[in-house]
C-alpha cells in the first residue's frame, strides 16, 4: 500500500497520496474526518486532479489540427505517480513531467506541480501547469474533492446546504449518463439565489454543471454542524456531484468541461481550454477552510 504524505498545522491534518498527488484525508484538530469514506459500493476516489482534460471526450478522442489522440475521461494525472520533490511539517510539493507514455496521448512537454500547504484552518492547494516545449500547448484542469456528507458536527444530511458567494441564476448543464457528454439544452439552476439544497434526487441525472459561474467561493455544511469553505479564484466553472445515496458530495472547481454532444471541433477551440505559450506557466488555487461544528 502506498504511504501517504502527512502535513499539518495546529488546526488541521492532511494526508496526500503520491499516486495522482491526491488528497485522501483532511481532519480537524480533534481528528474528525472531512473527506469521503471512499465506500467502494459508490466511488473510491477522494480528490483526483483532472488534467489535461475535464470530463469525457467524444469517442474517447480529441483532435489537434490533423492529429487525433485517444485519452480517457478526466485525463491521466489522476492515475500517474508524482514525485515528491519537497516536503516539510506543513507543506508538500509533488511533480509530474511528460514522458514517452504521456506524449503518446498528449503530445506536449509539460510540468505539472501540485503544492499543498496547511495554514491554520486552511488547506491551500496550488496546481501549476508549465509548458516546457517550444510551441504552444492546450489543456483543461479540474479539482474533484469529495467531502463527507454529512460533515462532522452532528447535523443530518438533510440539514446541509451549499451556499455560493453570489446568486447563481444562470442555467446549468447536464451530461448524458451513458456517454458523459454535455447535453445541448441547459436546465434551470437548482440553486435558489445563493443556496443549493443538495438531495439525492438532484444528482439522479448525474453531475450539475455551472458553466457560467458567478461565484469564486462557496461553503458546504449545516447551520448547527461543521462546514467547509472553498475558495477557487482561478476556475470559472463548477460541477457538483455524488452517486445518489453515497456519504459524500463533490464540489469541483473546473477550468474546462466534457465534450458537448456532437462535438467534432479542434481541442484548441473547445470551451474552457487554456492556451499556454512556450516557457509559460499558469496556476490554479483551491483553498479549503475547516469550520468545526
**What is the value of pTM for the model shown?**
0.97
DSSP SS3 for 86: strand
Give me the pLDDT at residue 293, please: 83
Residue 61 grid cell: 478522442
Give me the pLDDT at residue 67, please: 96
Give me the pLDDT at residue 263, please: 93
Contacts 24+ apart (CB under 8 A), 95-100: 96/21, 97/132, 98/132
Residues of the chain short of pLDDT 50, as ranges, are: none
- What are residue 215's DSSP bridge partners? none
Strand 137-139 relative to strand 91-97: parallel, antiparallel, unpaired? unpaired
* CATH number (domain holding residue 32): 2.70.98.10
The helix, strand and coil proportions of the chain, stated in percent and rounded to the nearest 5, come to 5, 45, 50
Distance CA 27, CA 89 (A): 15
Residue 191 grid cell: 440553486
Distance CA 84, CA 102 (A): 19
Give me the pLDDT at residue 2, please: 72
Give me the pLDDT at residue 49, please: 98
Domain housing 91: 5-291
Helix spans in 66-192 (H): 100-103
Residue 92 grid cell: 508538500
Q: Nearest-5° angle of CA 35, CA 227, CA 29?
A: 65
Number of domains in the chain: 1
Amino acid at each position: 500500500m502506498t504511504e501517504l504524505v502527512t502535513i499539518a498545522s495546529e488546526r488541521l491534518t492532511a494526508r496526500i497520496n503520491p499516486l495522482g498527488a491526491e488528497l485522501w484525508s483532511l481532519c480537524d484538530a480533534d481528528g474528525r474526518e472531512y473527506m469521503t469514506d471512499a465506500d467502494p459500493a459508490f466511488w473510491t476516489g477522494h480528490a483526483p486532479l483532472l488534467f489535461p482534460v475535464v470530463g469525457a471526450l467524444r469517442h474517447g478522442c480529441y483532435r489537434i489540427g490533423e492529429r487525433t489522440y485517444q485519452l480517457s475521461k478526466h485525463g491521466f494525472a489522476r492515475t500517474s505517480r508524482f514525485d515528491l520533490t519537497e516536503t516539510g511539517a506543513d507543506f508538500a510539493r509533488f511533480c509530474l513531467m511528460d514522458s514517452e507514455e504521456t506524449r503518446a496521448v498528449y503530445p506536449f512537454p509539460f510540468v505539472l506541480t501540485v503544492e499543498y500547504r496547511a495554514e491554520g484552518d486552511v488547506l491551500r492547494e496550488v496546481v501549476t501547469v508549465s509548458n516546457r516545449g517550444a510551441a504552444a500547448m492546450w489543456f483543461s484542469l479540474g479539482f474533484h474533492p469529495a467531502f463527507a456528507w454529512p460533515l462532522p458536527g452532528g447535523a443530518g444530511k438533510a440539514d446541509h446546504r451549499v451556499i455560493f458567494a453570489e446568486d447563481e441564476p444562470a442555467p446549468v448543464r447536464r451530461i448524458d449518463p451513458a456517454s458523459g457528454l454535455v447535453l445541448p439544452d441547459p436546465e434551470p439552476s437548482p440553486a435558489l439565489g445563493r443556496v443549493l439544497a443538495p438531495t439525492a434526487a438532484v444528482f439522479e441525472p448525474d453531475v450539475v454543471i455551472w458553466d457560467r459561474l458567478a461565484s469564486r467561493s462557496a461553503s458546504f455544511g449545516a447551520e448547527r454542524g461543521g462546514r467547509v469553505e472553498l475558495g477557487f479564484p482561478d476556475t470559472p466553472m463548477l460541477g457538483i456531484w455524488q452517486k445518489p445515496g453515497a456519504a459524500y458530495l463533490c464540489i469541483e472547481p473546473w477550468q474546462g468541461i466534457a465534450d458537448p454532444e456532437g462535438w467534432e471541433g479542434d481541442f484548441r477551440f473547445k470551451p474552457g481550454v487554456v492556451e499556454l505559450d512556450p516557457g509559460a506557466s499558469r496556476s490554479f488555487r483551491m483553498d479549503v477552510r475547516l469550520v468545526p461544528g
